[in-house]
Amino acid sequence: MSGEDDSSGWQLTESDPSVFTPLSSRQLHRELLKTLGVPLIVDDLYSLDAEALASLQPLRALIFLFKWIPSSAGTASAGQYDTDFPGFFAHQVVNNACATLAVLNALGNIPSLPTGPQLAELNSFTAGMDPQTRGMVITSADWLREAHNALSPPSAVSLDGLGLPRKSEDAYHFVVYLPVMGAVYELDGLKEFPVRHGTYEESGEGWLKTAREVIENRIATYPAGALEFSLLALRDDPLPVLQTRLQELQASGNSAASVEVISLISRENEKRQRWAFENSLRRHNHVGLVHALLVALAKGGKLSSAQAMAKTTMQARIEKAAASEEGFE
């Protein structure tokens, strides 16, 4: 959850699903995974059907972003609290850290996951701690806070000290769904304990079938067409596997299959180039450019028409996003 107080240096990341989530939350998680040294990536999920989920296997966890309601913070809306949870679980003890904490709660429960030295040291140091203490240690890690803040938008304009009334904004929160020791769990740093959603069958869809049912039931509590949630898939990075497969095919002389794998590798590389470009945009301060463009439009008498066109374009984007969200239903 994001808020104005008790941030302890953790900067707010844009998390309104109707505007920023398809870019900002996934970029934060992707950059964070690189810092943590784990061979995983995150991808957007636009549908929860079995075919869409199967295309992303092996899938390690689902990261769910939703509009936070204070009355629901301390209760388990579905499932049961597991007071003897055997895995890794940390409380969110400061505001603005929920995206990073969701990732750590997921990674800490993936067996035999290779990690970088900083994360390995953090996991070792916090082993055996209660969730509250572990959360305090995590949010006190300077290197982790710096990684989190790296993709926060630049603050070029400050309204502090002007005596303007503060506007209350909606808060959004990240939670994780993943399998732990034969059961599906919901890990929410604002809840006292992990929520257990029951066991699952290893055959077929496995744990994803149960997770999908839980998430769909949660989404169903929102008004029809609501854009107050988003879903990310935490999965193995497919690029190393594809590169190894290509070497094997080329060594065996299977040119037809090699062409297909090369196409898949090319798509993955293009995706990473797009991620890098998006990250560069987020780190750059565009206020000066925007101001200059607005002044030029106003001087040319074109500002009103540009404003009308922008409204039309934004409405089209909202309608397109609403259509995409229907895939969750």
Alpha helical stretches, state H, 8-113: 21-36, 50-54, 98-107
Cβ 61 vs Cβ 238: under 8 Å: no
For the CA atoms of 84, 89, 90, 96, the dihedral, rounded to the nearest 10 degrees, stands at: -130
Tokens of 281: 């945009």
Helix pair angle (117-126, 142-149), 10° resolution: 130
- Tell me how far apart the alpha carbons of residues 173 and 168 are, in angstroms, rounded to a whole number: 16
Would you say the C-alpha torsion 216, 220, 222, 227 has a positive or negative sign? Answer: positive
Q: How far apart are CA 205 and CA 186, in angstroms?
A: 18
Helix 142-149 and helix 98-107, axial crossing angle in degrees, nearest 10: 120
**Cβ–Cβ under 8 Å, residues 13 and 24:** yes
Distance separating alpha carbons of residues 30 and 281, to the nearest angstrom: 15
Rounded alpha-carbon distances, angstroms, from residue 160 to 153, 155, 166: 17, 12, 10
Which stretch of DSSP H or E encloses residue 28?
Answer: helix 21-36
Question: Kind and range of the H or E element at 178?
Answer: strand 172-180
Cite the active site residues.
98, 173
Tokens read off for 77 = 């809306």
Q: Give me 186's structure tokens.
A: 């919901």
Token pair listed for 10:
């953790």
Strand, helix or coil at 184?
strand
Nearest Cα neighbor of 26 from 317, 282, 316, 327 is 282
Token pair belonging to 284? 């750059």
